[in-house]
Amino acid sequence: DAGVTQSPTHLIKTRGQHVTLRCSPISGHKSVSWYQQVLGQGPQFIFQYYEKEERGRGNFPDRFSARQFPNYSSELNVNALLLGDSALYLCASSSGFYNEQFFGPGTRLTVL
């Protein structure tokens, strides 16, 4: 079975631009979460979506938004990119609350 997949693998943008990151969960998983990992630190929670509804939001500005589609895949959007948005963006899927969260390979975003 395929694990969590994310696209693209790498992305280079300039300040002020917009970016869309995509995630496909493990088949049968209805929960998708997004995390940001800055170099040298642990991942930080951005969003969780479950059954296409936002269930939680971390301490990130409104420039960050996300959505989940009927097939449970998800998009993370970041507007007006800042240099500080450069990070590894990780997507995780889970079969339900308080179960294991499985992560994808991540998207490395570089903002110049």
Q: How far is the CB of 8 from another protein (least distance, A)?
A: 14
When binding is defined by CB under 8 A, the residue of 25, 26, 29, 33 that contacts another protein is 33
Using the rule CB under 8 A, is 51 a contact of another protein? no
Using the rule CB under 8 A, is 24 a contact of another protein? no
Question: What are the b/e assignments for 67-103, b being 16+ CB within 10 Å?
Answer: ebeeebbbbbebeebeeebbbebbbbbbeeeeeebee
Using the rule CB under 8 A, is 90 a contact of another protein? yes
Gap between the Cα atoms of 91 and 6, Å rounded: 7
Using the rule CB under 8 A, is 43 a contact of another protein? yes
